[in-house]
Structure formats: C-alpha cells, structure tokens
Chain A
Amino acid sequence: MARPLKASEESHEQKLPCRLLVEGGADFHFFSHLFVKRGMYAKQQGKVIPKGFEIRASGDCNQVINGLVQLKEYELDALGIVVDADLTLADRWKAIRTTLSDLKLDYEIGDQPDPLGSIIAGKKRLGIWVMPDNQIPGIIEHFISWMVPEKTENALWQHAEQAIKTLPGGPLFLEKDSAKAHLATWLAWQEEPGHPIGLAVSKGYVQAESPTVDNFIDWIKRLFQLT
C-alpha cells in the first residue's frame, strides 16, 4: 500500500536531491518567486520550475526543525532550513541543536549562527538560516521589509508603520508579529491591494534585486553548490 502523502503543505511536483524547508505556504511562494527573480528558478506559463533544489513548506517553525530528520533520507544530498528567530535568536538556535541531538544526527553546530548563513558538513550538507539575518531577533517579514524600495522616503511605508503603532485599543497581534502586520498593511494599499508576500515579489512591490538579499542568495548557492 502506498504511504499517505502528507509530506508538506506545499511542494513542487519535481523531486530534487537538494531541499529547502520553510515555515509555511506563504513563505514557500515568497522564496519560489524570489528564486525566479534571481534567475535561479525558471517560470513557464505562470508556473515556477525549480532547478537544482526544491522547496517544501511545513506548518510552523517546530515542524521545520523536526524536518531535520530528513537528513536521514537516502536520496538527499543537502538540506537547508529557514526559520524565524522570533524574540530570542539564542533560544531558536538552541532548539535546533537539541533536535539534532535528540534525532541522533551527527552535525556539529557552532555556538551561534554564521552571519552569512550556517553550512555544516556531515553525511549530507546542512544549511541553517535564521530569519531575518542570523544575528538579530525577528521574522521573515523583517527580511522582506528590507526589500521595500526606498524605505526611509517611502511615505506609504511610513504611514503604515504609523497606523499599526496607533491602533485604537492597541494591537491584537503579538509584539513579535508587528513586522508582519506592518508589511501586510503596506501591501493592502498597493495598486492591487492585499497580495500575499509571494506576489509582492513577483509583482515587484518588493525588490528581489535588493542587496539585502545577497547574503541569503549566496548561502543558497553555497549550500546547494549552484554555479
């Protein structure tokens, strides 16, 4: 009997020996379109065609970290995970270390993430990127906000920030998610309002060519040995 297919929420049809695990469907589409814009993935008839590595989305940060078990998969050459640091980067890093040890995965990770993205040698190559930049607390939306064009002079961006800071009765969302609220608010006011982060890249609302993305792209290329 075939095993039930529940490997991830989102994945490409193509199965490739290198794999990037990300936190959810929205992140999946963000990275897919980012890689298209950066010339790493192709796009045919509106459909993203992965090259060299595939992306899989898991439900949340814990599920992505648990996904480290995929390092035991026979067909796999390299695995990268992208997780949010959230409020404390050190705690996230510790959770990764603990899971590696619990799963008896023989990978030595340093005391803190490499600012350029961690790559750890082992039976397979393991890459870890802690959003936004491996150095400060935060989430993927911080990383995306750095791609917002001319942010300091961008009136709409400033206005959105002002708006979420002055919500009547205070915010309903958690403090750690304010970057998410900020970005979503700003996206709500674009020419086509309310697009998710994936379309924000493909529509060019945020700049895929932003130099703030370079370290991340370099990390992907080193991890998956892309030329």
Chain B
Amino acid sequence: MSTLHLDSLEIKNFRCFEHLVIEKLGRINLIVGKNSVGKSSVLEGLQIYANRGDAYNLADILKYRREMDYADLTENNDRYRINLTHAISFLFHKRTHEIGDNTPISIGPTIPQGQTFKLNIMWYGEIRTDDEPRLVGPLTPDTYDQFSSLIPRITVQIGDQQPRSFPATYNRTVSLRSTSKEGERIPCCHVPVNGLARDSITPLWDRAIIQQDKTLLKHIISALIPDIADINLLNNTIIAIDTINTPPLPIQTFGEGLMRAFGISLALVNSRQGFLLIDEFETGLHHTIQTDVWRFIFSIAKSLNVQVFATTHSWDCVEAFEKAAAEDQNEEAMLIRLQQKRDGSGIEAETYNERALEIVTRQGLEVR
C-alpha cells in the first residue's frame, strides 16, 4: 500500500507563517481561505521541501513573485554577481531576515521522523592557507571576529543529517545550477494559476512519453471530450486529433478548460511518488467539468502515489471536490481552511475530513 509523503505539515518562519500546523493531511488536499492567508505560500513551502532547497527552484519561486528582480535592483551593487541572499530573505517570516540569524525556515511533518527540512542563510569564514582557501561554518556570532572575511552561504538540512551549504552569490554570466542531489529530491510539479508555462510543457511531455504515460493521458482527455482520438506534441504545442479526421488542432481550440485539464493531467503523471501542486484549481474550468477533473485526480493520484495540494476560492470547486471524494472508495480527501487566528497572533488551519465535507456541502455551510 502506498503511504502519504506527508501525513501532517508543520511550517515555521516561512512567509506569512510564524508557525503553522496542519495536524492531518489527506492524499488529495484542497486549501481554501481568504486572500493573504498563505494558500499559495503552502504550495511554495512544499516545493522547497520537495526540492530540498535547491537554488534553481528557490530562484524560480522568487522570480514568480518578482522578488528576485526587486532584491537585485534595490540591494545589489555588484554588476557581475547575483546575490541570492537578498531575495531569499523574502522567504523568511520577517522579511528582514539577517544573515546568521539562527532561526531557519523549517518545513516537515509534525512528528518529524527525520524528514524535517531546514533552510537558512549563515556566515561562513574563509581560512587562507598556503594552498586552497578553505571554508569553515556555519559560524556562530561569537566566532565572526576570528575570520578576516565572512561569506554568506545558504544552508540546508534534512532531519538530523549533516547540514549542507551552497554559495549565495552567482556570476551573472553563468546560469544558476541545481544545488541538490537528484535522488534526494521528491518529484514535484506545480501548475500555476495561468497554467503550465509554454517552455515547461515539452520536458513534461517528453518525460510522460518515456514513462509510457501517453495512453493514460489520452484516456483522461477523451473521458473529458469523447471526440478527441489522440494527442501529440508539435513545436511546443499540444495538438489534438479528433475522431472525424479534421486536421490536428492545438488543444486550446477545444477551449481553455481542456488546456487547463490537460496541464493538470500532464503534471499529475510527472509527479509520480511525489507532490502535485495546483494553484487556483478552478481557473478556466466550468463547474460542470470540475468534478470530472477531480475524478481523474482521485483515481490516478492513488495509483501513482501522488499527494495533491490545490487551492481555490470557488464554492463550485469545493462541491466538485466533495462529489469526487464521495464517489472515490478511499477516505483520502481533506479540505483545509487557512485563517487568521482570532487573537491576531498568526495563521492557523482548520481541517474538514470527508465526513465533515459531506455535511457542509449538503447543508450548504460556509467553509471558504
């Protein structure tokens, strides 16, 4: 039996979360809540967790929110080097995170079992001997003055393992490289509000072909639109071939909804043994098709051992989610509402299991 990657979630010192605890997660999780309670931040936190603080992924997240440019424009005087520390400080709960502050970002299950991931920016000292310069660190403040030069580095730690660090500055002319080890990362695909970026479709398609998932994808799409007999990739564009032999057409021709559904299914098959993250699930999807999309997510996520996290603002989406959850044999859905604590001391999570979800949709109770 496939077990969940995360049965619970605890996030500390990250974005708007000083300390967020979600006691229980399902396989398929739908996150609701008002604006700026951190729905997308949970998805970002999971990306960082899955990618083990990989610099390339961090830069991606920061670029998406334009925080990379901002930090670079306002705080970097070096024309030749990109300084990631300024941008990464945005990820910390108090955005003015100082290098060397000992409180890391921490993401993991509530009962860790060695999986908690920590990220920080720490000072390292350089020792120049006769041969190579050598780095010592991470340093504590009382040892700073023992070194002639201090260098900031991004440190990552998984459970009790030895922390690793990587440089926080990069030469502009060299593209940012991955800083994590392949085997250590958890597969993770993110479907942004606007859908998959055009340049990310080709690599995902290629991987789906190699994993022999094309039949599965075709099956999903023809379940949504029976007229579609086949799909293919042509010049970065997904094309659909219909049953009446009209010329192949870009999948968008069949509507934005189908493109969204296809993007989700492509990301799903690429999230095997990992996480699928969907920001604002309902985007482009008419409420009648939302249940169909949830249906294939419920059935495929289980067989490919994917844990899904989606956000929404839409009541239709909650109802469609409940409907698909109720049809599914397994008790695997969880609705999570993020909210400001009543005393104003931060953000908390309220969870609705399938039974609770069934009642709220039947009684029409507000959950968002």
Contacts and interface: CB of A to CB of B under 8 A. Distances in A.
Q: Do A and B form a real pair?
A: yes
A67 B356 CA distance: 9
Contacts of B316: 1
Contact of B363 (A6, A72, A102, A103): A6
Contact of B355 (A58, A74, A103): A103
Nearest to A1: B316
B350 interface: yes
A66 interface: yes
Interface residues of B, number: 20
A75 to B, nearest CB: 8
25 contacts: A1-B315, A1-B316, A6-B363, A7-B363, A7-B364, A66-B359, A67-B359, A69-B352, A69-B356, A69-B359, A69-B360, A69-B363, A69-B365, A72-B337, A72-B352, A72-B356, A73-B365, A74-B337, A74-B339, A102-B353, A103-B353, A103-B356, A104-B24, A104-B351, A104-B353
Contacts of A69: 352, 356, 359-360, 363, 365
B179 to A, nearest CB: 39
Interface of A: 1-8, 58, 63, 66-67, 69-70, 72-74, 102-104
A32 B223 CA distance: 52
Contacts of B145: none
A8 B363 contact: yes
A1 B316 CA distance: 7
Contacts of B350: 72, 74
B314 A1 contact: yes
Interface in B332-368: 337, 339, 350-353, 355-356, 359-360, 363-367
A224 B352 CA distance: 25
B66 interface: no
Contacts of B360: 69
Contacts of A102: 353, 355
A70 B365 CA distance: 8
B287 interface: yes
B309 to A, nearest CB: 19
A59 to B, nearest CB: 9
Nearest to B353: A104
Contacts of A58: 363
Give the secondary structure class of B's interface. Answer: mixed
B337 to A, nearest CB: 7
A69 B356 CA distance: 6
Contacts of B287: 1
A124 to B, nearest CB: 10
A130 to B, nearest CB: 20
A4 B355 contact: no
Nearest to B352: A72
Q: Which of B316, B352, B360, B367 has the largest number of chain A CB atoms within 10 A? A: B360
A72 B32 CA distance: 13
Given A58-B363, A70-B365, A3 B315 contact: yes
Q: Which of B351, B356, B366 has the largest number of chain A CB atoms within 10 A? A: B356
Q: Which of A2, A5, A104 has the largest number of chain B CB atoms within 10 A? A: A104
Contacts of A3: 315, 364, 366
Contacts of B352: 69, 72
B363 A66 contact: yes
Nearest to B363: A7
A6 B24 contact: no
B315 to A, nearest CB: 4
A6 B314 CA distance: 17
Interface in B134-155: none
A201 to B, nearest CB: 27
B364 A4 contact: yes
A63 B364 CA distance: 12
Given A4-B364, A69-B352, 8 more contacts: A6-B364, A66-B359, A67-B359, A72-B350, A72-B356, A72-B367, A103-B353, A103-B355
Which 9 residue pairs across A and B have the least CB separation, nearest first?
A6-B364, A3-B315, A66-B359, A69-B359, A103-B356, A69-B356, A7-B364, A72-B350, A102-B355
